[in-house]
A and B are shown apart, each in its own frame.
Chain A
Amino acid sequence: MTDIDQLLKRDSFIERNARSRARALLDPGTMRELAGPFERLHSPWLAMQHLVTQSDDGVVAAKGLLDGRPTVVLAIEGGFQGGSMGEIGGAKIAGSLELAARDNRRGIPTQAVILFETGGVRLQEANLGLAAIAEIQAAIVDLRRYTPVIGVSAGTVGCYGGMSIAAGLCSYLVLTREARLGLNGPLVIEQEAGVGEFDARNRSLIWGLTGGEQRVASGLADACVQDDSAEVRATVARLFGQGVPARHRSERAQEYLAALERADTAAQPTADAVRALYGATDNHRGDA
């Protein structure tokens, strides 16, 4: 089969909106939405700033089964306000994760998937958005003691800001080649440190250093998948099957810091140099 045939036949995950992505991950007919659009939980803060609100505040919280196991999928809508995290959307994610942890404590093994498509905090909601992200991070760390919390970033927005830290706290992280993962986005780095530090127009530089393939090769994510709904679903199911990792990536922070200490910051790093640097910490999971 040619590449074009394959492209036409596959069921793109990236082209789906948040609600449709959640449905694609769950067993057919099992999805039930929590705090859905008809609850009309609009952002009160966007309206005050004369911005059009979305009835679910850009987050779909879906409960259902994945291969028969109770699962909650938290899908961020990248098309609405850049997938930014505000008070309401953030509370929906944090609250769902907290309920999943409570389920586990009561003997119901509810697992969680977060679909990251976000630039981070919603600037219009400032501290309330930041507080929501802190709650999400705390809830991930609580829940991952019982069951894997799996993060997926398919693109095209990627995953940045405080939510990239949330992604780093997940038990496993799944990316596509189109996805990008980083604390600061290219434009922010260029604006703050100058074009000599980072040229935000250089796409091969951006994907070379922060793209999905590079993040997996550097051991900062666990699987690089095609933009294919069936493959995303199968990969998530496989990673749930591996159970809670013996050591989470975030528990190896000291090893990463030690590696960064060795980095030569005098020159622009290359993709290969970064792979070698993180590879030296011997943290490849190698299951991509």
Chain B
Amino acid sequence: MEKLEFTFAAGQPAPGRTVTGVVASGDLEVLLEPGRDGTTTVAVQTSVDGYGGNWTALLERVFGPGTLPAARIEINDNGATPGVVRMRIEQAFEEVKP
């Protein structure tokens, strides 16, 4: 098990909180809460060690542009593929849309 933390620039705080996904085999749980204005933090807990580079690349793609609402995100991952991770994150932002 490995823990990773990331910080990205972001927009206005997210308008709500939600949880998507389950810590099932090949899946992950994403908890999304409003973040501090202009900053998104992502705390990852993953069952697979040694994939820090992949996490950095994937999260850079999602949050790098800095256009998403500011959020405090917690990810509990049980071996999800990058595509599944991205969909769960996008699902969470979709669900908190006003």
Contact = CB atoms under 8 A, between A and B. Distances in A.
Interface of A: 17-19, 37-38, 50-56, 58, 77, 79-81
Nearest to B45: A52
Which among B17, B22, B47, B77 has the greatest number of chain A C-beta atoms within 10 A?
B22
A79 B27 CA distance: 9
A89 B35 CA distance: 28
The 7 closest A-B pairs by CB, nearest first: A79-B24, A54-B23, A50-B1, A79-B22, A37-B19, A52-B47, A80-B23
Contacts of B23: 52-54, 58, 79-81
11 contacts: A19-B19, A37-B31, A50-B1, A51-B1, A52-B23, A52-B46, A53-B23, A54-B22, A54-B76, A55-B29, A55-B76
Interface in B14-50: 17, 19, 22-25, 27, 29, 31, 33, 45-47
Given A38-B31, A52-B23, A55-B19, 14 more contacts: A37-B31, A52-B1, A52-B45, A52-B47, A52-B78, A54-B22, A54-B76, A55-B29, A55-B31, A56-B19, A79-B22, A79-B23, A79-B25, A80-B22
A52 B46 CA distance: 6
Contacts of B1: 50-52
A51 B47 contact: yes
Contacts of B45: 52-53
Nearest to A42: B76
Contacts of A51: 1, 47
Measured as residues with beta carbon below 8 angstroms from the partner, the interface class of chain B is 10 to 19
Contacts of A55: 19, 29, 31, 74, 76
Interface in B53-93: 74, 76-78
B96 to A, nearest CB: 13
A56 B27 CA distance: 16
A23 to B, nearest CB: 13
Nearest to A37: B19
A14 to B, nearest CB: 13
A38 B22 contact: no
Nearest to B27: A79
A56 B74 CA distance: 13
Contacts of A80: 22-24
